């Protein structure tokens, strides 16, 4: 069996003999690095956060915070991570750790290592810059054209510090005893990396390349194929293979439900699944790109997705989770399906027999069931252009961020001379599958965009799907939220119209 290893805090550590289902968190703690904690084992608390070296567009490295509790440690073969212990020790605190201590940002300390790692990820963000302007300077190594390099981070506000610190970088890190005020204060008083900072200097060198991996321990096998062709061959030959990209769903199954697979196939680093192209008639997104990468690369090019991304779980999850994975599970409460349905998206499914394109509206066939064959994977998602004139994504959940939808509604409407000429509405959480609100679309198309039309269509929208009652919401509540969502959209368009006229 070939040796496999991961670089942890600058030192190479072997992974030989580690069972395929072992998470990075469990392995770290078993090997004497207990800074990372298990709080929830499903990526919701951030106590396990670590920094992963990931590639940047200019060939350098970014320190990306991820949940160690969800990442299979075998997926880190040949990769590089930093834990809280690697930031600094009691005698040489890292600036992030020092600021947390000065601000009183730690009490029991259980969550603190995770906060420190997430905060360090933002501390080392290359385009972070003071919020004021060019005059107060910006990091010497800010990428040319990046928001920070041009002072485009704007004035400090409720979610950004005067030092350009994005408070959303800490989303997914939960504190149960300190309260968030001192943690925020610590974040907002951080400076910038000084000369000689090893982790800052590391950003100038390339991130580790993906390493093809094939290990088997105690009857369980983990494979990282070298190419898409190899992956498709394995899928065709191995009916029990489980595909894993960000592992933000499968990791929960492993941790909380004790799921084990005889063969896990990692695909998140396959070049063929990490493309993003914008042509005249289509935007095509590779299925294994993380949501954070898609958000960064699109840079608002698809406004409906730009509205969705901040509401999808947390930054820690978005740094690993993929659209391909979100669609691959077939879940009726995934956040991307309603938006992609409203965008009229299609999927490219690949197998050893070739590729086929499937309209997303025809993809879901039942609860967690799809038309995807056993030996197929999702290669990419295609969004046709031009985009609709009016779009919105409404997520109804118990928390504003980092929560599962009770109901998700996405709208894409086109108007001409005040009349609705096209409408697509995607729904999640109101049936066994995500679905298009076809009856409501029909009630809108060809009618004037006014309150009378909207009220009539809202009554139709309330009847779409077959909502059920569970611990998140009652069926009646879900139906009511469907109806009010269209009224909310109409109100927003009226306000925008008045602002434009003014």
Map out the domains of the chain as residue ranges.
5-125+166-202, 213-266, 276-384, 390-501
Segment 424-433 shows an average pLDDT of 97
Predicted local distance difference test score (pLDDT) of residue 182: 96
Give tens-digit pLDDT for 237-246: 999 999 999 9
pLDDT above 80 (res 141): no
Predicted local distance difference test score (pLDDT) of residue 455: 98
**Banded model confidence at residue 150, pLDDT cuts 50, 70, 90:** very low
- Report the range of poorest mean pLDDT among 137-146, 192-201, 212-221, 275-284: 137-146
**Banded model confidence at residue 152, pLDDT cuts 50, 70, 90:** very low
Segment 18-25 shows an average pLDDT of 96
**Banded model confidence at residue 398, pLDDT cuts 50, 70, 90:** confident
Which residues have C-beta within 8 Å of that of residue 240, sequence separation ≥ 6? 261, 262, 263
Q: How many residues are present in the chain?
A: 502
Segment 294-301 shows an average pLDDT of 97
The per-residue DSSP string of 474-496 comes to -HHHHHHHHHHHHHHHHHHHHHH
Predicted local distance difference test score (pLDDT) of residue 154: 45
Q: Nearest to residue 223, comparing CAs of 358, 77, 82?
A: 77
Segment 202-221 shows an average pLDDT of 96
Task: Look up the CATH superfamily of 5-125+166-202.
Answer: Beta-grasp domain (3.10.20.30)
pLDDT above 50 (res 137): no
Predicted local distance difference test score (pLDDT) of residue 500: 66
Predicted local distance difference test score (pLDDT) of residue 90: 85
pLDDT above 90 (res 140): no
Task: Find out if CATH 3.30.465.10 is the number for domain 276-384.
Answer: yes
Give tens-digit pLDDT for 443-467: 999 999 999 999 999 999 999 999 9
Segment 68-77 shows an average pLDDT of 98
User: What's the mean per-residue pLDDT of the chain?
Assistant: 93
Predicted local distance difference test score (pLDDT) of residue 147: 34
Q: Nearest to residue 228, comparing CAs of 401, 354, 91?
A: 354
First-last CA distance in the chain: 70
Structure tokens at 319: 């740094």
Q: Which CATH number fits domain 390-501: 3.30.390.50, 3.40.190.10, 3.30.30.10, 4.10.140.10?
A: 3.30.390.50
- Report the range of poorest mean pLDDT among 140-144, 289-293, 376-380, 433-437: 140-144
Predicted local distance difference test score (pLDDT) of residue 456: 98
CB neighbours of residue 147 within 10 Å: 18
Helix axes 95-102, 181-188, angle to 10 degrees: 130
Predicted local distance difference test score (pLDDT) of residue 173: 96
Predicted local distance difference test score (pLDDT) of residue 496: 74
Structure tokens at 426: 């995607």
At 182, phi and psi to the nearest 5?
-65, -30
Which residues have C-beta within 8 Å of that of residue 387, sequence separation ≥ 6? 302, 303, 304, 343, 412
- Report the range of poorest mean pLDDT among 39-43, 113-117, 140-144, 484-488: 140-144
What percentage of the chain has pLDDT greater than the value 90? Answer: 88
Q: Nearest to residue 118, comparing CAs of 180, 31, 209, 198?
A: 180
Q: Give, in words, the CATH class of 213-266.
A: alpha beta
């Amino acid at each position: 069996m070939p040796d496999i290893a991961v670089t942890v805090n600058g030192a190479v550590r072997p992974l030989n003999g580690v069972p395929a289902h072992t998470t990075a968190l469990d392995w770290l703690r078993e090997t004497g690095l207990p800074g990372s904690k298990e709080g929830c084992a499903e990526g919701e608390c951030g106590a396990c956060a670590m920094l992963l070296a990931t590639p940047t567009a200019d060939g350098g490295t970014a320190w990306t915070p991820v949940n160690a509790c969800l990442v299979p440690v075998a997926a880190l073969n040949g990769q590089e991570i930093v834990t809280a212990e690697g930031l600094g020790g009691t005698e040489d605190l890292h600036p992030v750790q020092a600021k947390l201590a000065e601000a009183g940002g730690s009490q029991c300390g259980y969550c603190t290592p995770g906060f420190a790692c997430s905060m360090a990820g933002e501390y080392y963000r290359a385009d972070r810059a003071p919020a004021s302007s060019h005059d107060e300077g910006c990091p010497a190594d800010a990428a040319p054209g990046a928001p920070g390099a041009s002072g485009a981070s704007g004035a400090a506000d409720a979610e950004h510090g005067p030092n350009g610190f994005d408070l959303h970088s800490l989303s997914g890190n939960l504190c149960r005893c300190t309260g968030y005020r001192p943690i925020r204060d610590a974040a907002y008083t951080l400076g910038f990396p000084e000369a000689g900072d090893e982790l800052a200097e590391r950003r100038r060198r390339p991130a580790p390349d993906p390493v093809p991996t094939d290990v088997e321990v105690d009857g369980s096998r983990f494979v990282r194929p070298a190419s898409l062709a190899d992956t498709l061959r394995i899928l065709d030959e191995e009916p029990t293979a489980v595909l894993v990209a960000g592992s933000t769903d499968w990791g929960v199954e492993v941790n909380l439900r004790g799921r084990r697979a005889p063969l896990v196939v990692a695909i998140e680093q396959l070049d063929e699944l990490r493309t993003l192209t914008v042509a005249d008639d289509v935007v095509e997104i590779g299925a294994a790109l993380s949501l954070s990468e898609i958000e960064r690369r699109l840079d608002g090019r698809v406004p409906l997705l730009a509205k969705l991304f901040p509401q999808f779980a947390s930054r820690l999850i978005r740094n690993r989770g993929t659209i391909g994975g979100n669609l691959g599970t077939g879940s009726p409460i995934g956040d991307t399906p309603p938006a992609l349905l409203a965008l009229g998206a299609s999927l490219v499914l690949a197998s050893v027999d070739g590729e086929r394109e499937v309209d997303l509206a025809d993809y879901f066939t039942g609860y967690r069931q799809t038309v995807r064959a056993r030996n197929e994977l999702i290669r990419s998602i295609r969004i046709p252009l031009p985009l609709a004139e009016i779009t919105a994504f409404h997520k109804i959940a118990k928390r504003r961020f980092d929560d599962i939808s009770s109901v998700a509604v996405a709208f894409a409407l086109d108007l001409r001379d005040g009349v609705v000429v096209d409408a697509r509405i995607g729904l999640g959480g109101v049936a066994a599958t995500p679905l298009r609100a076809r009856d409501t679309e029909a009630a809108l198309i060809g009618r004037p965009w006014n309150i009378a039309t909207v009220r009539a269509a809202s009554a139709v929208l309330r009847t779409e799907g077959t909502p059920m009652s569970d611990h998140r919401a009652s069926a009646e509540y879900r139906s009511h939220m469907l109806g009010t969502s269209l009224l909310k959209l109409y109100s927003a368009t009226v306000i925008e119209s008045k602002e434009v006229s003014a």
